[in-house]
Structures are given as C-alpha cells and as structure tokens.
C-alpha cells in the first residue's frame, strides 16, 4: 500500500569523508537518490523532524563504538519522527506516526524492531524530539537508574543549558536534590537559575571551576551528570563526595578531539572517595521509555518542567545543526525540520 504522492527521489545526506573536529559541509554528499523499493517487512516513513544528538558525531569517526561507525557513502544515522507513507510491514499502516532512526534523509526505512516506536496520533511531535523523547529518557534514567539520586543530595549537571542537561537539572530538583549547573555562557547560567530553578550555575569559560564548585557545593558532589568530559569532568571528580557517582552521559568536549583525548587525571579520587563512574547508552532503555515519559508528562502537566527547541529548517542544514551542539550556540534541543507536520 503506497501513497501516490511519494516522489521518485529521496534527498539524503551521506558521509563523504571522516570529519576532523567540527564537521564541514564538504564532509557530506547531498544526494537525490532513487526512492527505495520496499521489501517485505519494511515501511517507508516521511521524516518530519530529525533530532541532533552529540552521539551522532561519534558515529562519523572510524572504529567501533556502541554502534558501528557510519561508513563512507552511507546515509548518516540519526533519530527522528515521521509519518508512514507506504508499508509492507504489518506493524504499520499508512498515516501512522513513528519515532525511529530514519537517518538524515527525507524518507527512511523502518521495520518492526526495537528502534521503531509507534506514536499516538495526538503526540506533540516537537516535544517528542526533546522532553518526551530520548533526551528526556537520557536525563531521567541517567539520574535515577545510573546515578541513583536521593533527596537531599547535591547533583551537578554539565551542559546545563543544553537539552539533556536542562532536563536533568529540573528532574533532580523535582526529586528533592540541590542542583548546580555548569554551562558555557552567562545567558545559559541565568536561564537555568532564573527560569528552571537550579540552585546555582557556574560559567566554566569565565569562572574558576574548582573554586566555584567548592563554593556552590560545600558538602561536595554526590552525583555528577556529565555531558561534556574533558577538564570539567576532571574538576568535578576533584570535588566528589564520599560514595559519589559520576554518570557518563556523553563527552561533548572530547568527541571532536584529534587523536586520544586527555583522560580525567582526578579519577584517583574514585578510590579516596569510594566513588563510581558509570557510562550508559540511552537506547538501552528504549523498552522502558514509557516509564520515563509517564513521569515527565505528569511533571510537565504540573508546570514543573520547561524545555525549548532550536529549530533548523531543511535537511541540508543537518551538518550546521550538529555543530551547534559543540559550539554551544544552541538554546535547547536542536531539531532539524525536514517536512511540515
């Protein structure tokens, strides 16, 4: 069953060469490829939104991560939301909304697998790209399942003005913690303190991180939700409380590094403080996402959660949109709008 309005070509962003540092448009090919012919078990989704996640940058590097690297010539892997426009898969009917990994292309192939989730027709699509999507799930499971935060604890969140960090800080506040953010601009610091209710926020570009951590976390840091790695991670490791937990959600500061990034030399504090540093991958929680969304929806309805998106227009904007995560110029979740809702 197919929609007659499906075009014969499919605009794609393919990896042309391995980027070094920030990506440039020359690292990609923008191709109008022939439309994919569906095989049994496949459905075609028209991409509406693509979410920009820092992890995408790691897939562009050589070598095996938690998923295989994107090969030269392949469409860049990425998560997004869209509508089924043709189907040879019993699980989806034309018109269904799905959240999946369509990749950076106008039309993606989806299957009835763990990486595709059907959405209710009334799902607010843009919010689904942030708070009610993998971003919200990362913040929720990172804090509760990996970090095991408890009321009264001091939680520090880096990239606090980012999509994941801003949600993580608010969730920690809702769950009774004292929350200190770390961000890269005064504007972001102001936003998370004045609008989102963080107890404090440190500008790591202009302030003495170690001194300010001591000042804002007099009882040291019980849980650190790390989105950036690098020298920020090192500074917080130095301020870890007894039995402190470091939740490794990402490492924006080092994903673009040439060669081997510097490791956190204060990791030895994990011995003195009996600390734990643990990494996690949000996609591992895919089949528990609803558990997070139930809480997030309740808190949103109660007016306790705020978020924002930075909309970038058109598929060809993907490379620049990805870079925004690393230059820090974004305000909230970076979402590329590929088609109208």
The residues, ordered by sequence, that sit 6+ positions from 180 with a Cβ below 8 Å of its Cβ are: 154, 155, 156, 157, 198, 199, 200, 201, 202, 213, 216, 217
Please report where in the chains the tokens 């708070």 appear, as a residue: 131
If one counts every other C-beta atom within 10 angstroms of the C-beta of residue 150, the result is 12
Q: How far is the CB of 31 from its own copies (least distance, A)?
A: 29
Q: Rounded CA gap, 188 and 328, in Å?
A: 10
Rank residues 91 and 270 by Cβ distance to its own copies and give the closer one. Answer: 270
Least distance from its own copies to the Cβ atom of residue 288, Å: 14
**Pairwise CA distance, residues 190 & 188, whole Å:** 5
Report whether 23 contacts 57 (CB < 8 A).
Answer: yes
3 state SS of 26: helix
Q: How far apart are CA 339 and CA 341, in angstroms?
A: 6
Give the interface with its own copies as residue ranges (CB under 8 A).
Answer: 64-66, 229, 234, 248-251, 254, 260-281, 284
Q: How far is the CB of 239 from its own copies (least distance, A)?
A: 12
Least distance between its own copies and beta carbon 29 (Å): 27
Complex with its own copies: residue 265 or 298, whichever CB lies closer: 265
144 versus 276: smaller Cβ distance to its own copies = 276
Give the nearest distance from C-beta 234 to its own copies in angstroms: 7
Do the Cβ atoms of 121 and 28 come closer than 8 Å? no
Give min distance, CB of 198 to its own copies, in A.
24
User: Using an 8 Å Cβ cutoff, are 48 and 81 in contact?
Assistant: yes
């Amino acid at each position: 069953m197919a929609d007659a309005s499906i075009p014969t070509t499919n605009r794609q962003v393919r990896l042309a060469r391995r980027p070094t540092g920030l990506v440039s448009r020359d690292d990609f090919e923008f191709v109008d490829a022939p439309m994919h012919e569906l095989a049994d078990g496949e459905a075609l989704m028209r991409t509406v939104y693509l979410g920009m996640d820092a992890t995408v940058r790691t897939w562009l590097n050589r070598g095996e991560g938690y998923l295989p690297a994107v090969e030269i010539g392949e469409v860049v892997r990425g998560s997004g939301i869209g509508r089924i426009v043709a189907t040879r898969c019993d699980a989806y009917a034309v018109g269904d909304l799905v959240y999946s990994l369509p990749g950076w292309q106008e039309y993606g192939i989806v299957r009835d697998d763990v990486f595709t989730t059907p959405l209710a027709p009334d799902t607010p699509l843009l919010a689904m790209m942030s708070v009610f999507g993998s971003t919200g799930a990362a913040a929720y499971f990172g804090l509760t399942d990996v970090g095991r935060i408890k009321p009264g604890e001091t939680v520090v969140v880096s990239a606090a003005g980012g999509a994941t960090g801003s949600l993580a800080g608010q969730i920690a506040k809702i769950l009774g913690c004292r929350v200190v953010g770390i961000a890269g601009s005064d504007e972001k610091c102001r936003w998370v303190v004045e609008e989102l209710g963080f107890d404090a926020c440190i500008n790591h570009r202009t302030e003495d991180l170690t001194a300010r951590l001591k000042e804002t976390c007099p009882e040291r840091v019980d849980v650190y939700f790390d989105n950036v790695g690098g020298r920020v991670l090192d500074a917080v490791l130095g301020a870890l409380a007894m039995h402190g937990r470091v939740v490794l959600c990402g490492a924006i500061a080092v994903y673009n590094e040439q060669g081997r990034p510097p490791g956190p030399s204060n990791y030895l504090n994990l011995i003195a403080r009996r600390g734990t540093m643990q990494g996690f991958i949000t996609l591992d929680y895919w089949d528990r996402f609803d558990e997070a969304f139930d809480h997030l929806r309740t808190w949103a309805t109660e007016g306790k959660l705020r978020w924002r998106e930075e909309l970038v227009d058109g598929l060809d904007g993907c490379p620049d949109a990805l870079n925004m995560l690393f230059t820090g110029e974004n305000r909230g979740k970076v979402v590329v709008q590929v088609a109208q809702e």
